[in-house]
Chain A
Amino acid sequence: MSDTTSKSEELFRLYEELSDASADLEPEDLAEQKSLDAIFAASQWQLMWRKFKRNKVAIAGGIVVLLFYLGALLAGFIAPYTLESRFVKYIHMPPQRVRFFNNGKLQPHVCGVDLTIDENLRKHYTPDCTERFPLQFFAHGEPYKLLGLIDTDVHLFQVPDGIVSLLGTDRQGRDMFSRILYGSQISLTIGLLGVLMSLLFGSVLGVISGYYGGWIDDLMQRLIELVRSFPAIPLWMALSAAVPPHWPPLRTYFAVTLILSLIGWTWLARQLRGKVLSLRHEDFVLAAKMTGATDAWIIFRHLIPATFSHIIVVSTLAMPSMILSETALSFLGLGLRPPITSWGVLLKEVQNIQSIALYPWVFTPALAIAILILAFNFLGDGLRDAADPYTV
């Protein structure tokens, strides 16, 4: 005991001497020190951000993704109508053009619509600009719950006496623009939730498998192989068929998410296992072990932080496939069913030749999917390039 105290006393004396020396630092030295610290004391996340920032396409992708999520969050406010608002007078109406100038004055408005029915009983809508309906911003409309919490009836824009339909209407006269916005709430969150659930299974099982190795690793890898060897679509079909049709919409929604992430987690688990396998033989892990660190310490202080950037990249890149899977399932009539409205459900409703031939605007949900998935892929690519600042 006395041995260690004398040692620390000795150290303390040394420290005193040296701190006296450092107190004499010139102010210029301190300034230089600060500017160097901006580079050398930058954390992993700062380094990642610096690299990511330079990738303009990825930034654009990120902004688009953000806008989509913002749209989903504020769907009720941005959409002029609710999911179920019907305009019996305007069935299968094509998208309306928003005109910005009225007699040289800036006044966004839509024209009225004239309906004629030809000898084949086909409806023709022609804009009739003798009647002009100005857009009223932050106007009162149909009631809804903002963020699912606040009762309100203020919408971003409204046309009180007419109809404004930016993307046309469907066969029941419902506004496609509003329906896509509401559908995004389901489609975007199912991706997020599905990826989160995959992450939960995948990261825990992957890290354990890689860290402990041996029979645990063997067992998990065989399990993953088993899960992955099932053909995805028939498996989904079987599982979805097992979801009782009388379940409430919310429960069906969670069941479908669970089904989707059932296969998704294996991908992540494999990747993280590989990463942990290479990390656990690094000397810094051994050093912690030789100091007496517990497994939990090593996993949470060394292994998980080191795989964190990887997890983010993998999840970003997994989002599009999750969203597409949901769309595919719902399109086949196996996933979500009305009254829940997702983009897949919207597309399912227009599975017929008339829609393609006569009313192409009812396919706008497909456009939304394509844009979102492209944006996600650009964002994911950018994140992947920036993810590991320590390996150049």
Chain B
Amino acid sequence: MESKTPILLEVKNLKKYFPIRTGFFRRTTGQVSAVDGVSFFIREGETLGLVGESGCGKTTTGRCILRAHPPTAGEVWFRKDGEMVNILELSTKEMKPLRREMQIIFQDPFSSLNPRMTVMDIVSEPLRIHGLAQGAELKAQVRELLEAVGLKAQHMNRYPYAFSGGQRQRIGIARALALRPRLIICDEPVSALDVSVQAQTLNLLEDLQKEFGLTYLFIAHDLSVVEHISDRVAVMYLGNIVELAKAEELYINPLHPYSEALLSAIPRTDPDHVSKRLVLPGDVPSPANPPPGCKFHPRCRYAQPICQTEKPEWRLLHDDHWVACHRAEELSLVGIDYD
């Protein structure tokens, strides 16, 4: 992807803290920093992979961008008619036309479709909410959408329980496409699917991207899934992005020890490959009480005294490769060697 294409979405220092309330009066006794200062941008037509363990704040980031949760701080800029708008400052009414531009695909294909509605009702819902089509016109549009995602249009009167997980996910994709958005946040869209269905769904998403000129923020919890769909990949750990680079660059030449550990966990198909899997000691620390300094230092095998006290800066190391690690220059980490 050429760097000349304009930026569609820019997130600046996004923070989301959830209060911990206890006792009868619900006093706030602490907070969970789910997202703790995240910044990135996505160019038009690009796919940005957002990777991290469960609980690292990837989903919260995605939902804050769509204003499902009001963020604690930060800015979300979206390009609308050639101008960047901070969507967090818009009123609900001003936000409504912008909702047509950004949609979401969910992880769980069972919870994401209302079991009491037919496929027709589900897929047409966004069109009805925005009053874009009615009657025969509405039906024709749903037909188009279903066929675009590879489902039979004559099944539109069926209920979600008649479909398999992969088919349900396609229904969810058709719903997300209904308003012809420019940005789609894919929140682990394949994590709940079989491996064979995963590949089909990823291919469908790639085809749709070409067809409709979509931009994806693709959230996943393992690097192997985002490997071939992403142009650039961001690695998240405990509420922060620790590394962001072009996909091949990050896979071959990771700069953050956490990325290195994630890459070593990708299963290989080569039978002669000797696994040098790096197992991280311990668990992810609680986001309610994150460690000081670099949040990764308790589990990092390269940690130095400075890592325990000082927070590493988010910096551009070389050509489009961002990292937050004190020792990024001196370490030579192992990526994946594509022979």
Which residues on A are within 8 Å of B, measured CB to CB? 3-4, 7-8, 10-12, 14-15, 18-19, 22, 33, 36-37, 39-44, 282-284, 286-293, 297, 301-302, 305-306, 390
How many Å from the CB of B105 to the closest CB on chain A? 9
* Given known A-B contacts A40-B158, A41-B159, A287 and B118 have beta carbons under 8 A apart: no
Among listed B122-130, B225-233, B296-304, interface-contacting one: B122-130
Contact B161 A390 (CB under 8 A): yes
- Chain A contacts for B96, CB-based, 8 A: 292
Contact A14 B112 (CB under 8 A): no
Chain B contact residue count (CB 8 A cutoff): 45
- Chain A contacts for B130, CB-based, 8 A: 291-292
The 3 closest A-B pairs by CB, nearest first: A40-B162, A283-B112, A292-B99
User: Contacts A7-B180, A282-B111, A286-B68 given; 18 further ones with Cβ under 8 A?
Assistant: A15-B147, A18-B153, A19-B143, A22-B152, A33-B154, A37-B157, A41-B118, A283-B108, A287-B112, A287-B175, A290-B104, A291-B129, A291-B179, A292-B96, A292-B100, A293-B125, A297-B129, A302-B114
Contact B152 A283 (CB under 8 A): no
Contact A10 B211 (CB under 8 A): yes
Judged by a CB distance under 8 angstroms, whether B27 is at the interface is no
Judged by a CB distance under 8 angstroms, whether B66 is at the interface is yes
State in angstroms the CA–CA spacing of A42 and B96 once bound together: 34
Contact B212 A41 (CB under 8 A): no
State in angstroms the CA–CA spacing of A337 and B104 once bound together: 62
Query: In the complex, which residues 149-173 of chain B have their Cβ closer than 8 Å to any Cβ of chain A?
Result: 152-155, 157-159, 161-162, 172
Judged by a CB distance under 8 angstroms, whether B249 is at the interface is no
State in angstroms the CA–CA spacing of A297 and B96 once bound together: 14
Contact A287 B143 (CB under 8 A): no
Contact B159 A40 (CB under 8 A): yes
Contact A15 B99 (CB under 8 A): no
Closest to A282 in B: B111
* Given known A-B contacts A7-B212, A290-B68, A306-B116, A22 and B153 have beta carbons under 8 A apart: yes
How many Å from the CB of B192 to the closest CB on chain A? 11
- Chain A contacts for B122, CB-based, 8 A: 284
Instruction: Render B207-223 as a binary contact track against A, CB cut-off 8 A, 1 for contact.
Output: 00001110000000000
Query: In the complex, which residues 48-83 of chain B have their Cβ closer than 8 Å to any Cβ of chain A?
Result: 63, 66, 68
Contact B158 A305 (CB under 8 A): no
State in angstroms the CA–CA spacing of A306 and B129 once bound together: 19
How many Å from the CB of A80 to the closest CB on chain B? 49
Contact of A41 among B116, B153, B158 (CB under 8 A): B158
* Given known A-B contacts A286-B68, A287-B104, A292 and B95 have beta carbons under 8 A apart: yes
Contact of B129 among A22, A39, A42, A288 (CB under 8 A): A288
Judged by a CB distance under 8 angstroms, whether B33 is at the interface is no
Closest to B145 in A: A11
Closest to A284 in B: B114
- Chain A contacts for B180, CB-based, 8 A: 4, 7-8
Contact B116 A287 (CB under 8 A): no
How many Å from the CB of A297 to the closest CB on chain B? 6
How many Å from the CB of A184 to the closest CB on chain B? 36
State in angstroms the CA–CA spacing of A384 and B11 once bound together: 49
Closest to B118 in A: A41
